[in-house]
Amino acid sequence: MIESGVGNSAMLSQARADFELLKSNPIEYKTKVNRISDLLNAKFVDDYPPAYFVGDYADGRCKDVVFGLNPGFNAKRDRQQRIENFESWEDYLKFLKGFFDTFKKETATVPFYRYLSKLFGGISHVELNEWPRRWNFFQANLVTLNLIPYHSKGYKFPSRLGDEQRKYLNDRLKSNLDFLKRVNRVKKLRSVVFNGKIYCILRDEWLENRRPLNKRLNMYLFEYGGIPCILFDKFIPSPAAGVSYEELQDAASKFNDWISSRE
């Protein structure tokens, strides 16, 4: 079973420890999150449980994975994520796995996932133009791993990283990559998307096979542990990336062509 294959991963252990700390000692949790906010020159939400990941990695279906930056925050939309709504880590884990189903029930519309629907619709050769269909697709196919698990209303990484910042981010990336490999050993993953320049900074050995997507955005195609990967050197859908839906579909086409050329 996939669950038993990844259940003792560092990422899930860290996620559980954070959840239980917030549940048992919210002041200490607040102190921890604020310390990370200071380290990364950010303001992360310190009274909500973290989202190290969302998506059902253990349902036995082949998955696409997105490595994101950190979860956004909308107090109204994210009200179901408040700590008092969960009696235990198992309750919260169930919520994280069924995250996209929850958004479907709430008839949520999220710009980030609208952009991803164009990319993954192209990769999967399906049209994802309506929200219920998008949420169904993501629930069946997508897992998102966040580099920083704490919510914020927006965050821009420093242009240069200090030693402590780099260590924190590298440790988090290592934890997520370990989780990725564990899932892939049990059920082969279809694709991985690394979204944002921070992944260029932390793992510059990935920067080969550069394919310009537009004047402001490059994508890089590579394998990691035998999994086809695509890395964007700016965060989509940020204004700085300036990527249209048509360009994302074009990126998906080029990604598919590259995957086919390897077979």
DSSP notation for 165-206: HHHHHHHHHHHHHHHHHHHHHHS---EEEEESTHHHHH-GGG
Q: In angstroms, rounded to a whole number, what is the distance separating the alpha carbons of residues 66 and 147?
A: 10
Report the amino acid identity of residue 156: K
Reported as a single tens digit per residue, the pLDDT across 121-146 is: 999 999 999 999 999 999 999 999 99
Q: Dihedrals φ, ψ of 33, to 5°?
A: -65, -40
pTM: 0.94
- Give me the number of domains the chain comprises: 1
Cα 210 from chain centroid?
22
CATH at residue 251: 3.40.470.10
Range of 24's domain? Answer: 2-262
- Residue 244: both structure tokens together: 């249209």
Number of neighbouring beta carbons within 10 Å of residue 18: 19
Q: What is the pLDDT along the chain (263 residues), one digit of tens a residue?
A: 567 678 789 999 999 999 999 999 999 999 999 999 999 999 999 999 999 999 999 999 999 999 999 998 876 666 777 888 899 999 999 999 999 999 999 898 988 999 999 999 999 999 999 999 999 999 999 999 999 999 998 777 777 899 999 999 999 999 999 999 999 998 899 999 999 999 999 999 999 889 999 999 999 999 999 999 999 999 999 888 999 999 999 999 999 998 888 76
